[in-house]
A and B are shown apart, each in its own frame.
Chain A
Amino acid sequence: MSCVPLNLVSHKSGIQFYPKCVTPNSALCESFCSSLNTNLVLNSGRVLNQTNEHRHNVLTSAAVNIQNWKTKVKKMKAIYHTLNLCSIDITQKLVIAEIWCPVSDLSEIHSALIKGSEKSGSSLHPVLHRIESQQTPPTFNRTTSFTSSFQTIIDSYGVGDYQEINPAPFTIITFPFLFAVMFGDCGHGLIMTLFATWMILQEGHFKRLKNELSDTLFSGRYILLLMGLFSVYTGLIYNDCFSKSLSIFASAWNVRAMFQPTGPWTNHTVHSSVTLQLDPVSPGVFSGSPYPFGIDPIWNLSSNKLTFLNSYKMKMSVIFGVVHMLFGIMLSLGNYIHFREPRNILLQFVPEVTFMLALFGYLVFLIIFKWCAVPSSASRRAPSILLHFINMMMFSYPESSDSFLYGSQKRVQIFLVVTALLMVPWMLLVKPLIILKEQKKEQRSTKELNPVEVNMGDVFVHQAIHTIEYCLGCVSNTASYLRLWALSLAHAELSEVLWKMVPHVALSARAYLGSLMLTVIFAIFAILTVTILLIMEGLSAFLHALRLHCKFAGVPVTLFAEFSPEMSQ
């Protein structure tokens, strides 16, 4: 056993030696031990403090640089990610990148490449070639900050093919308009407009917020602005402002003229009836020139307001529906003209438009004709458009001709229904038969080579599906536009109920503390208006307007994904 002198061990390992204490209880030993403890404590305390300080210094100096490092790492990652997307040349000295880009931006890209190569100080300039490709390019729609929200809405249903008409610019007007037809209240529209204007003015403040909810709201600020403006307009037409009508012009109805001597009412009539009806045929009751803009404010006070408004709004919805659908078909005509497919114009566009116009265009004509031609004196015998339309489709006409709207109605209607029925086999059969004939001609002329086989079964089935979808879609889409009526009715009724249950209570208080009650109740009214009528009804009308636009959707196609450094993370 080798003994290493303790002195040596202690010297090497840094152990300190203190003179030994013989008697453990001596005062000298105790004082020595206590001073030893204090020394130890002080030393270890000092060591800990110094370590902490050192750690703090290292971390602070690192914190100064960490943002820099993070950005550098991100940039390096992005560069490597981009380089991974390119391919290497045969000579291993060049990098080749194949990209899709808009033709109008070619010169910009070229100059950006040259600028980049100059900045990095390389001697070679990058070369930009246009190459031919058989692939269909991705669809790119250039948008500004205003139009991008509308483009997102259309894209969510389906992106059009390359070079097809983009329905988004038309959506800028039709979407807020259809929303406004369902929302229709000037007061609520005004609040929405003010809120959207505030969001647009505070753009800088909102861009810094990272909340997801406020992000969604903020990205739709231009849509909200347009929806609010259009809602003010339709609110003025429906004459509805927080469920009360505004009498901007004088009403066209005169109640006094219903009394004797010009009308049938007497004092006795007024006292003995629960409801009284104004008769527009009586002289002087209806002034003859209707209210100049919007619905007459007297309807707000009448108990049969809904009977009148329902008929008006339903007919208006059908008219808007047919016009909107015809507009959609016109867009498809634009596509056929652009892609130079005159065959499709004759085989698809013409029968589609004829079918639509013969049935639903005629319905719109009937509505407008009845509005113009049937006077109020004939209101008891007024023909019902619904019954006439049903009878037209079933070819059942009554013997007596006095319930018709116009003279030759029977002949015109029979002609229109027969035309519409003829359009169906035109859409269904003509195009596949032509394709079949062309294929047979090709097979006969090039017997040796194997031509591209078109599966005829597929063509027939595809055409059948398209025809059935179109015809049934006409009917169901027209009916679905009745949601314009349904939602505007719901909004008007909700608004009225809210007024009756909240401010009415305070305004009708006969007590002297009416003003205090009014203060509290107005706050409740404001909160309920914003939550129920603006947020809930607004979202509901937004969704329904979206559903009415989904027929512009196409087959899902690749969208142009922009290159940007942030994308590569």
Chain B
Amino acid sequence: MVTLLCCGPKMAACGIVLSIWGVIMLVLLGIFFNVHSAVLFEDVPFTENDFQDKNPPQEIYRLYEKVSYNCFIAAAIYALLGGFSFCQVRLNKRKEYMVR
């Protein structure tokens, strides 16, 4: 069976820390984009055309929500990465026990 262990213990620990940070921060960012926070206005990818809207500010709100969905998907990817790193940590621990 091909070994599932591909990261060392340190890299797996870094992976877990990064994933936890990523999940928390991206979920929060996603929530803030979802409530159309004004502070994040410069990060929303609007163009000149979006301001010719017939029904302002719905177009801008739609863009806000698009970015928030991007953030949530990225948070989900980080959750998967976190799970993978956690498995690596467990496999590393088991390998340590077997050598002893």
Interface of A toward B, CB cutoff 8 Å: 191, 244-247, 297, 300-301, 503-504, 507-510, 514-516, 518-519, 522-523, 526
18 CB contacts below 8 A, A to B, read: A191-B21, A245-B39, A297-B39, A300-B39, A508-B43, A508-B45, A515-B69, A515-B73, A515-B74, A516-B74, A518-B26, A518-B71, A518-B73, A519-B77, A519-B78, A522-B22, A522-B74, A522-B78
Is B58 located at the chain interface by the 8 A CB criterion? Answer: no
A507-B70 contact, Cβ under 8 Å, with A247-B39, A301-B41, A519-B78: yes
Among A191, A504, A516, A526, point to the contact of B42 (Cβ < 8 A).
A504
A526-B18 contact, Cβ under 8 Å, with A503-B43, A507-B43, A508-B43: yes
Is B40 located at the chain interface by the 8 A CB criterion? Answer: yes
Q: Hey, which chain A residues are within 8 Å of B22, CB to CB?
A: 519, 522-523, 526
Binary per-residue interface labels of chain B (5-26) against chain A in the complex, 1 for a CB within 8 Å, 0 otherwise: 0000000000000100110011
Q: Hey, which chain A residues are within 8 Å of B37, CB to CB?
A: 247
In the complex, are the beta carbons of A507 and B38 less than 8 A apart? no
CB distance from B9 to the nearest CB of A (A): 13
CB distance from A97 to the nearest CB of B (A): 48
CB distance from A317 to the nearest CB of B (A): 26
In the complex, are the beta carbons of A518 and B38 less than 8 A apart? no
CB distance from A278 to the nearest CB of B (A): 14
Is B44 located at the chain interface by the 8 A CB criterion? Answer: yes
Starting from the known contacts A507-B45, A515-B74, A518-B70, 20 additional A-B residue pairs (CB-CB under 8 Å) come to: A247-B39, A297-B39, A300-B39, A507-B43, A508-B45, A514-B70, A515-B69, A515-B71, A515-B73, A516-B74, A518-B74, A519-B22, A519-B78, A522-B22, A522-B25, A522-B74, A523-B22, A526-B18, A526-B21, A526-B22
Q: Hey, which chain A residues are within 8 Å of B43, CB to CB?
A: 503-504, 507-508
In the complex, are the beta carbons of B39 and A507 less than 8 A apart? no
Q: Hey, which chain B residues are within 8 Å of A508, CB to CB?
A: 43-45
A515-B21 contact, Cβ under 8 Å, with A300-B39, A510-B45: no
A173 CA / B62 CA spacing, docked (Å): 48
A516 CA / B77 CA spacing, docked (Å): 8
In the complex, are the beta carbons of A301 and B39 less than 8 A apart? yes
A191 CA / B77 CA spacing, docked (Å): 22
Binary per-residue interface labels of chain B (36-76) against chain A in the complex, 1 for a CB within 8 Å, 0 otherwise: 01111111110000000000000000000001011101100
In the complex, are the beta carbons of A522 and B41 less than 8 A apart? no
A301 CA / B26 CA spacing, docked (Å): 21
CB distance from B61 to the nearest CB of A (A): 16
Which residue of A has the minimal Cβ distance to B43? A507
Interface residues on chain B, number (Cβ under 8 Å): 22
Q: Hey, which chain B residues are within 8 Å of A191, CB to CB?
A: 21
CB distance from B74 to the nearest CB of A (A): 4
A519 CA / B18 CA spacing, docked (Å): 11
In the complex, are the beta carbons of A522 and B26 less than 8 A apart? yes
Among B39, B41, B45, B77, point to the contact of A515 (Cβ < 8 A).
B77
A514 CA / B69 CA spacing, docked (Å): 10
Q: Hey, which chain B residues are within 8 Å of A518, CB to CB?
A: 26, 70-71, 73-74
Q: Hey, which chain A residues are within 8 Å of B71, CB to CB?
A: 507, 515, 518
CB distance from A252 to the nearest CB of B (A): 14
In the complex, are the beta carbons of A507 and B78 less than 8 A apart? no
Which residue of B has the minimal Cβ distance to A527? B18
A514 CA / B65 CA spacing, docked (Å): 13
In the complex, are the beta carbons of A507 and B77 less than 8 A apart? no
In the complex, are the beta carbons of A507 and B67 less than 8 A apart? yes
Q: Hey, which chain B residues are within 8 Å of A507, CB to CB?
A: 43-45, 67, 70-71
A508 CA / B71 CA spacing, docked (Å): 11
Which residue of B has the minimal Cβ distance to A198? B17
In the complex, are the beta carbons of B74 and A523 less than 8 A apart? no
A509 CA / B39 CA spacing, docked (Å): 18
CB distance from A530 to the nearest CB of B (A): 10
Q: Hey, which chain A residues are within 8 Å of B39, CB to CB?
A: 244-247, 297, 300-301
Which residue of B has the minimal Cβ distance to A515? B73
A523 CA / B85 CA spacing, docked (Å): 14
CB distance from B27 to the nearest CB of A (A): 12
- Most A CB within 10 A of own CB, among B26, B41, B42: B42
In the complex, are the beta carbons of A509 and B18 less than 8 A apart? no
Q: Hey, which chain B residues are within 8 Å of A526, CB to CB?
A: 18, 21-22
CB distance from A506 to the nearest CB of B (A): 8
In the complex, are the beta carbons of A301 and B38 less than 8 A apart? yes
Minimum-distance CB pairs A-B, first 9: A515-B73, A518-B74, A508-B45, A514-B70, A507-B43, A515-B70, A519-B74, A515-B74, A519-B77
Q: Hey, which chain B residues are within 8 Å of A246, CB to CB?
A: 39
A508 CA / B42 CA spacing, docked (Å): 9
CB distance from B85 to the nearest CB of A (A): 12
Q: Hey, which chain B residues are within 8 Å of A504, CB to CB?
A: 42-43
A246 CA / B35 CA spacing, docked (Å): 13
Q: Hey, which chain A residues are within 8 Å of B26, CB to CB?
A: 518, 522
A53 CA / B73 CA spacing, docked (Å): 66
Which residue of A has the minimal Cβ distance to B76? A515
A484 CA / B28 CA spacing, docked (Å): 31
Q: Hey, which chain B residues are within 8 Å of A301, CB to CB?
A: 38-39, 41-42
Q: Hey, which chain A residues are within 8 Å of B18, CB to CB?
A: 523, 526
A297 CA / B32 CA spacing, docked (Å): 14
Which residue of A has the minimal Cβ distance to B21? A526
A244-B73 contact, Cβ under 8 Å, with A507-B67, A523-B22, A526-B21: no
A52 CA / B45 CA spacing, docked (Å): 78
A297 CA / B71 CA spacing, docked (Å): 23
Which residue of A has the minimal Cβ distance to B17? A526
